[in-house]
Chains A and B, each alone.
Chain A
Amino acid sequence: MSSATVPHTHHVSVWRRVQKQLGAAFNAVLNFFIDLMDYIMHPLQRLVGIRGMGYVFVLPNLLIFGVFILLPMITNFFYTFTGGANLFLDQRPYVGAQNLERLFDCQNFLAPNTCREDLFARAVTNTALFVITQVALMIGISLLTALVLNRKIIARGFFRSVYFYPVLLSPIVVGLIWKWILQENGLLNALLVAFGGDKVGFLTDANWARFWVVMISVWSLMGFYTLILLAGLQSIPSDLYEAADIDGANVFQSFRSITLPLLMPTMLVVLILSLIRAVQVFDVVFAFTGGGPGSATIYIVQYIYNNGFASATKEYGLASAASLVMAGSLIVLTLAQLRLRGTNNVT
């Protein structure tokens, strides 16, 4: 109440002053840091020359990347060809391609029951199905939302944020929230019962569970893709639409002949990004269905996690073999993506 009596401008000036002082302090620290580093960097530059500085700048990243991502990946590669329960590579017996063979020991890979590792076969088919439906739905819904947000609407900034909010939530929380809503005694079933319906086993029926896994992953990430598509839409010059309008084209015609072709590059980015995310699907589902019912929503990463980590008998070899298969197919996908985007973007 009392704040209302204080003149508004006063607030602003106090805030400005604080901001200014904070900024000054920040700059002082920054300058100090720059000077400090210059003591190391300057002699270094004299040593390696300007061109050599390229290596110097990329080095910290390469170091962290090499040690914490590349090295484990290489170790993982070697684990694939070893067996046993021992943790350290040098104490694990060499077993050749046994683990890889075990994964594909099938009469028919599409009939998981004929496979020795039926769960792997199920995980692969589940993942393929998930990726296709999720990516399609993600692009469809994000595009629709972007088109809606691109209209002249009130409070566009606010609505844009609304769709982005779930992106901020941790996957575990997303899984938990939706489990809470869709479980048998959850909100949705309560609504169904209240309107005279029967409870539905959203989490216990294989098809429903698959459906909801797709839906909640779209829910949690669509805000991000919507923003990218919206940016793409807004970069389309409006006089194109005006011209089409004059030519008597209707909304759908101008969508097909103007919006879609001009949005293609952005759509491609969205396609690639959502594809990467979809293949890696894990933590949301882990918290949501845990892979169930039965194994209806087990995906490759969970298969790897279960075998290599979350089990009493850790089969590092088998888990590594599965991740090798996954990494292999992912790298193929990446290369295909680079082809699609054109090489000049990469180099």
Chain B
Amino acid sequence: MTTQTAAGAGRTGVVGYLTRTKKRGRIGTADVLTYIYLLVGIVLMFGPVIWILMSSFKTPAEVTKFPPRFLPYQQETAVVEGYDEPLPLFDVTLEDGSVARLAQVRRVGLEAQMIDPASPEEIIRVNINARQPVEEVKFSLDNYTEGMESFNFWRYFLNSVVVTFVATILTLLVNSMAAFSLSKYEYRGRNAIFLIILSTLMVPLSVILVPAFLLITQIGWNNNLLGVIVPGAATPTGVFLLRQYMLTIPDELIDSARIDGASEWRIYLQIVLPLARPALAVLAIFSVMWRWNDFLWPKIVLTQNQVFTLQVGLEAFQGDLQVQWNLILAMTVLTLLPITFVFGILQKYITTGIATTGMK
């Protein structure tokens, strides 16, 4: 950051800021390409998510239309005297070639029966190809309200928060203790333990679903949030990351604390942990990400609604024969919001944290 300011220091104000480049005074092809690359990057990285956001405001009929439109449209309606329901509005090309804005009463076969909202007595019959729906951009919240009605959103949200929070604390505690032990103690079997932990780094949970599930059942953690929280707490990635970081902490610090009479527990909590803070932060970020998005395992452990997390609840819109896409879209956006929000606030720390401590 500071080098950037230095590079642009020769100039003042906005122009200086904007034209600040690697070599002072020149905007080369490389710079143009750089910014094109970055702008394309913005579109590619955020575009898909924005597309989902837009789709979540669309009606089920609009969602299936081709070509899809960026903004959500809805047909305008008019309340006409003598009709209980609001009637849809169309621009109709009449026989004399003029265009009128009419409301449709009903459609029979290829013929639409329309009325002029101003004079509702006379029924005008037109071919359905002669009418064009009058549409307006409308960000309808119907999908959200309907979804949240059939979807116990706040309950699932709370469960997701509890799982994410507790699991992250537990992950940090358990893995940092192990990393402390593996990096700062000499004992028999230490290397073997570390190797065994590492070798499972590559086996995904999805291949041991059934035995893992049976185990949870025997413990009695079925439909218990603990069954989701605990099994993933001892992650090889976490142990590895923290251990590598703790190896850089000088042993002398620990030895002198011992001489001062501090217990091992206090050394761990009050000396080692504060020093390992950057690595802990990275693990915390990963843990939050994993847990908030975790889906496969919770779906197996949690089959009662009161313990559902958001990701599991989202799937419940997938029936045997029907999938309610409009609701899935809306609820997906809701699950994205919290993590996007947190990222928006903490992005600087997250990205620098990973860049400086990640996987040394």
Evaluate contact between B199 and A331: CB separation under 8 angstroms: yes
Evaluate contact between B211 and A71: CB separation under 8 angstroms: yes
On chain B, the residues within 8 Å of A151 by CB distance are 22, 30-31, 34
Which residue of chain A has its CB nearest to the CB of B184? Answer: A54
Evaluate contact between A38 and B231: CB separation under 8 angstroms: no
Number of A-B contacts (CB under 8 A): 292
Evaluate contact between A72 and B212: CB separation under 8 angstroms: yes
* CB < 8 Å neighbour of A347 from B37, B42, B194: B194
On chain A, the residues within 8 Å of B206 by CB distance are 280, 282-283, 301, 304-305
On chain A, the residues within 8 Å of B17 by CB distance are 154
Evaluate contact between A57 and B209: CB separation under 8 angstroms: no
Q: Does A124 contact B (CB under 8 A)?
A: no
A18 to chain B, nearest CB (A): 15
Interface residues in A192-247 by Cβ distance below 8 A to B read 193-194, 219, 223-224, 227-228, 230-231, 234
* CB < 8 Å neighbour of A88 from B208, B214, B265: B214
Evaluate contact between A301 and B207: CB separation under 8 angstroms: yes
B122 to chain A, nearest CB (A): 39
Choose the segment among B45-53, B80-88, B106-114 that binds chain A (4+ C-beta atoms closer than 8 Å). Answer: B45-53
* CB < 8 Å neighbour of A178 from B48, B209, B348, B356: B48
Interface size on B (CB < 8 Å)? 105
Q: Does A327 contact B (CB under 8 A)?
A: yes
Give the CA-CA distance A330 to B202 in the complex, in Å: 6
Q: Does B131 contact A (CB under 8 A)?
A: no
On chain B, the residues within 8 Å of A162 by CB distance are 38, 41-42, 45-46
Evaluate contact between A45 and B359: CB separation under 8 angstroms: no
Which residue of chain B has its CB nearest to the CB of A38? Answer: B265
Q: Does B161 contact A (CB under 8 A)?
A: no
Interface residues in A168-183 by Cβ distance below 8 A to B read 168-173, 176-178, 180-181
Q: Does A70 contact B (CB under 8 A)?
A: yes
Q: Does B204 contact A (CB under 8 A)?
A: yes
Choose the segment among B92-100, B132-140, B145-153, B266-274 that binds chain A (4+ C-beta atoms closer than 8 Å). Answer: B266-274
9 pairs across A/B with beta carbons < 8 Å?
A57-B180, A75-B208, A153-B34, A154-B18, A164-B347, A172-B311, A173-B332, A177-B51, A280-B202
6 smallest CB-CB distances across A and B, nearest first, come from A54-B185, A170-B293, A61-B178, A57-B181, A68-B231, A190-B67
